[in-house]
Structure 1
Amino acid sequence: MIEEIEKWIHRVNSSHREVRRSCSVLEEHFNGFYSPEFLKTAFFVVTDEIPKPDFLGLREAGLGGFIDMDVDGITYNDTYYVKKEAANELRLHFHELVHVLQWRELAPQGFIERYIREIQDFGYDNAPLEKMAYALDGHYQSKGRHLSIEQFVQESL
């Protein structure tokens, strides 16, 4: 199933390649948190509908609630998708960029396996990868001190 998900993600990202934008457009907002080099290699797509894999195997694994959950953003490897009405929310971009870093550190297969396991074991709200992203976007939102999110994620995984 992991291989099927990876193929699906590759197809989704490839089909949106022409409309994705470099996160370097967010550089002035995230200065002191994300490096310009990282932001140049991360991308986002503004969309009406968030793409999600809906495989029977995922539902059988108990992930139907996650698949059906209404979200404003989701990350697949180096690209994240945000709903049009949430596209200007910097906190959402910050959160999804944490996930881009997690994907990089864990590699696609590792991220997918861990994310699924965490959702199964802890539920979405208590999944450690999500808790990390929410804690960091909360730090940003509260105008916390600058810190390298890249280094933090690397040291925390």
Structure 2
Amino acid sequence: MKKIEAWISQTNTDYKEERQSCAIFRDQFEGFYSLDILSTSYFVVTDDIPKLDFPELRQAGFGSFIDMSVSGITYNDTYYVERKAAKELRLHFHELVHVLQWRLLTPQGFINRYIQEIQTYGYENAPLEKMAYTLDAHYLAKGQPLNVEQFVREHL
């Protein structure tokens, strides 16, 4: 786990100059995310999403997950989005759910739980992913605003 945490920390440091504050979404996500959450969350637009790829993870059966094509991925308070998907509000909304999960579970807690859920349920049925997909679908459907932080806290 320490190796994963170190890699994530180094990756976020490497991209620090390219990070943008999620506060730019304050109008779009009003009623869902507080300005405090948005101001302390960041995203990086990139052509190449950084992904963990350690032999130990592949040996543990995560090869297909590592090789899966994704438009976004979250590491602690920063998420990375593909340039071609950078204007998709639903993607930003989804990744911000993961930022909250990281905060509430702590980095080590999130990593442990996420790995366990992927192993047990697979990506599509992992509870942390299902939560993010449920919330981003609610947002996309123009559902009533709800406090996402409170929702995540109550459903972890």
Q: TM-score, normalised by structure 2?
A: 0.99
Q: Deviations over 1:125-148 (max 9, x none)?
A: 000000000000000000000100
Deviation at 1:101, TM superposition (A): 0.1
Unpaired runs of 5+ residues, structure 1, are: none
Aligned mates of 1:94, 1:8 — CA distance in 2: 25
Report matched runs for 1:2-17 at 5 Å.
2-17=1-16
Deviation at 1:30, TM superposition (A): 0.2
| Aligned-partner SS, 1:62 | helix
Residue type of the partner of 2:61? G
Aligned mates of 2:10, 2:99 — CA distance in 1: 17
How many residue pairs are counted as aligned between the two chains? 156
Residue type of the partner of 1:145? Q
Report matched runs for 1:41-60 at 5 Å.
41-60=40-59
Residue type of the partner of 2:106? A
Q: Deviations over 1:78-135 (max 9, x none)?
A: 0000000000000000000000000000000000000001000000000000000000
| Aligned-partner SS, 1:63 | helix
Query: What corresponds to 1:82 in structure 2?
Result: 81
Over aligned residue pairs, what C-alpha RMSD do you find?
Answer: 0.4
Residue type of the partner of 1:88? K
Query: What corresponds to 1:115 in structure 2?
Result: 114
Deviation at 1:66, TM superposition (A): 0.7
Deviation at 1:22, TM superposition (A): 0.3
Residue type of the partner of 2:7? W
Report matched runs for 1:55-70 at 5 Å.
55-70=54-69
Aligned mates of 1:31, 1:86 — CA distance in 2: 21
Query: What corresponds to 1:106 in structure 2?
Result: 105
Q: Percent identity?
A: 64
Query: What corresponds to 1:19 in structure 2?
Result: 18
Aligned mates of 1:117, 1:36 — CA distance in 2: 32
Aligned mates of 1:37, 1:117 — CA distance in 2: 30
Aligned mates of 2:105, 2:12 — CA distance in 1: 19
Aligned mates of 2:50, 2:60 — CA distance in 1: 19
Aligned mates of 2:116, 2:133 — CA distance in 1: 18
Question: Runs (4+) of structure 1 moved beyond 6 Å?
Answer: none
Unpaired runs of 5+ residues, structure 2, are: none
Residue type of the partner of 1:133? A
